[in-house]
């Protein structure tokens, strides 16, 4: 607990430095005449809001030194929530001005306002649209791919328009040093975007994979088996994932995170990714031709086994079995005989993905499997319903707090399981979960 607090404090300090140092730098050297408190406060939150927006490109740049301590899903969770803080600051910035100086409301007349105000409006409206589309994508029935493309476009417009507004208004940027600092920051933010969308894909382009098999699995799922094409491949840890675009190369704007389902101990660089037909993109997985080239950006993820513990408890729901299979296969290949309990929730017996393979791998592991079916067939004598505290207590030996838990599945399931584990006294440091509902 103490190490988490320290880690959080260090990361917060670093993040706040990049957000606030450029603002405080404006207090150096020659300063323009000061105005009233609220106008100066409004200016300050305007600069800070812009810095928060620009740094969002850094949070989503997939830098491992940023994501490794947290896991990508936590970084995206932070990215999502900090955008609400940025939005509040950016919107409050003009509102405070209009309250303090009501005569300034003429700036809202877009076609009559000076260019600096028009760029501010463009930035603010883009940011509002970006947040609205992100929060209500599903309710607005917007496809993920369309949302993602507009998200990137609106983010670029919001930041660049904000920079132009700042440069044109220039109240604090008369000093060449300060002007250079903030323009340099803007270039840095854009460079982060260029790194993610151009530089990183160039590295991925150098290590392509070839699809050697498209294997049907139970539960409307398909496994892509991919071999490295003229390179040794790279290693990953069980439970990790990669970004993949099933159609299109590494420069494609929209990629999706998929967990590896193969053993991390494979020596020939072969990787397998198992994908369930869940949406517009994944429903076409069966059409991926054998022999096609695939570009994989990975590995990423902090959701990985290998922690020193007496027992692994893997709790999976639906396609959440994918990273668990990687863990099981890896443990088997490594001859790890520590007890493993797999609690696997599925709709019915026929849709239990990897059912046969799980049974086949049992002799190689100290593995106990508990299937939990929400719609069991007649005659089913196993567990029914959904994974809850009762199922955990019946199938996992005490002391519960000593084991290491990995949870992956639908959000509803994960929240219920986490509450169950908490009610059994399992400390939060002992269970790990990963969520990928971005919008």
Residue 23 lies near other proteins (rule: CB under 8 A): yes
Q: Residue 274 class from Cβ within 10 Å (0-12 exposed, 13-18 middle, 19+ buried)?
A: buried
Shortest distance, CB of residue 78 to other proteins, whole angstroms? 4
Shortest distance, CB of residue 410 to other proteins, whole angstroms? 16
Q: Which of residues 287-306 bind other proteins (CB under 8 A)?
A: 302
Residue 195 lies near other proteins (rule: CB under 8 A): no
Site size toward other proteins, by CB under 8 A: 40
Residue 398 lies near other proteins (rule: CB under 8 A): no
Q: Which is nearer to other proteins, 383 or 434 (CB)?
A: 434
Residue 45 lies near other proteins (rule: CB under 8 A): yes
**Which of 384, 423, 429, 437 touches other proteins by CB under 8 A?**
429
Q: Which is nearer to other proteins, 34 or 381 (CB)?
A: 34
Q: Within 13 Å and on the Cβ side, how many CA atoms surround 232?
A: 4
Residue 68 lies near other proteins (rule: CB under 8 A): no
Structure tokens at 86: 């940025």
Give first-to-last CA distance, the chain, whole Å. Answer: 30
Number of C-beta neighbours around residue 157 at 10 A: 17
C-alpha–C-alpha distance, residues 116 and 216, integer Å: 57
- Interhelix angle for 2-25 vs 37-59, to 10°? 120
**Which of 22, 48, 220, 264 touches other proteins by CB under 8 A?**
48
Single out the segment in contact with other proteins by CB under 8 A; choices: 37-45, 112-120, 190-198, 346-354.
37-45
Residue 369 lies near other proteins (rule: CB under 8 A): no
User: CA torsion, points 269, 225, 342, 69, in degrees to nearest 10?
Assistant: 50
Per-residue x/- track, 86-115, other proteins (CB under 8 A) = --xx--------------------------
Residue 37 lies near other proteins (rule: CB under 8 A): yes
Task: Tell me the C-alpha to C-alpha distance, in Å, between residue 40 and each of 87, 115, 172, 281.
Answer: 19, 21, 11, 48
**Which of 2, 3, 30, 34 touches other proteins by CB under 8 A?**
34
Shortest distance, CB of residue 297 to other proteins, whole angstroms? 22
Helices (H), 136-172: 144-169
Q: What angle do CA 367, 372, 373 make, to 5 degrees?
A: 140
Residue 20 lies near other proteins (rule: CB under 8 A): yes
CA dihedral for 30, 31, 32, 34, sign (positive or negative): negative
Shortest distance, CB of residue 41 to other proteins, whole angstroms? 4
C-alpha–C-alpha distance, residues 366 and 383, integer Å: 21
Binding site for other proteins (CB under 8 A): 4, 8, 11-12, 15-16, 19-20, 23-24, 26-27, 31, 34-38, 40-41, 43-45, 48, 52, 70-71, 74-75, 77-78, 81-82, 85, 88-89, 302, 428-429, 435
């Amino acid at each position: 607990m103490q190490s988490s607090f320290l880690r959080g404090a260090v990361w917060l300090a670093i993040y706040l430095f990049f957000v606030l140092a450029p603002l405080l730098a404006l207090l150096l050297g020659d300063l323009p005449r000061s105005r009233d408190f609220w106008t100066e406060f409004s200016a300050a939150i305007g600069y800070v809001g812009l810095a928060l927006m620009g740094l969002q490109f850094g949070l989503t740049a997939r830098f491992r030194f940023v994501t490794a301590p947290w896991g990508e899903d936590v970084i995206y969770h932070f990215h999502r929530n900090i955008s609400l803080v940025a939005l509040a600051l950016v919107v409050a910035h003009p509102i405070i001005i209009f309250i303090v100086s009501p005569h300034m409301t003429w700036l809202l007349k877009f076609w009559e306002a000076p260019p600096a105000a028009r760029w501010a409006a463009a930035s603010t409206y883009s940011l509002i649209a970006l947040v609205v589309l992100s929060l209500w994508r599903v309710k607005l029935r917007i496809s993920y791919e369309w949302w993602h493309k507009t998200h990137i476009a609106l983010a670029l417009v919001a930041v660049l328009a904000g920079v132009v507004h700042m440069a044109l208004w220039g109240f604090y940027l008369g000093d060449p040093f300060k002007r250079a600092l903030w323009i340099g920051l803007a270039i840095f933010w854009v460079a982060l975007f260029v790194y993610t969308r151009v530089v990183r894909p160039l590295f991925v382009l150098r290590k392509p994979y070839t699809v050697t098999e498209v294997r049907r699995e139970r539960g409307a799922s398909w496994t892509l088996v991919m071999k490295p094409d003229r390179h040794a491949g790279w290693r990953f840890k069980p439970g990790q994932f990669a970004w993949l675009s099933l159609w299109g190369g590494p420069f494609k704007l929209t990629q999706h995170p998929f967990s590896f389902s193969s053993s991390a101990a494979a020596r020939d660089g072969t990787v397998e990714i198992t994908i369930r037909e869940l949406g517009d993109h994944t429903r076409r997985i069966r059409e991926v031709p054998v022999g096609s080239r695939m570009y994989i950006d990975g590995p990423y993820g902090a959701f990985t086994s290998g922690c020193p513990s007496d027992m692994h408890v893997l709790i999976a729901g639906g396609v959440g079995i994918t990273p668990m299979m990687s863990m099981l296969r890896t443990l088997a290949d490594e001859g790890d005989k520590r007890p493993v309990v797999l609690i696997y929730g599925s709709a019915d017996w026929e849709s239990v993905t990897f059912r046969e393979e799980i049974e086949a791998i049992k002799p190689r592991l100290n593995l106990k499997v508990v299937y939990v079916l929400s719609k069991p067939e007649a005659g089913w004598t196993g567990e029914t319903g959904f994974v809850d505290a009762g199922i955990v207590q019946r199938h996992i030996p005490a002391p519960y707090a000593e084991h290491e838990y990995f949870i992956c599945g639908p959000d509803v399931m994960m929240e219920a399981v986490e509450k169950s584990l908490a009610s059994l006294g399992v400390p939060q440091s002992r269970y790990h979960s990963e969520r990928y509902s971005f919008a």
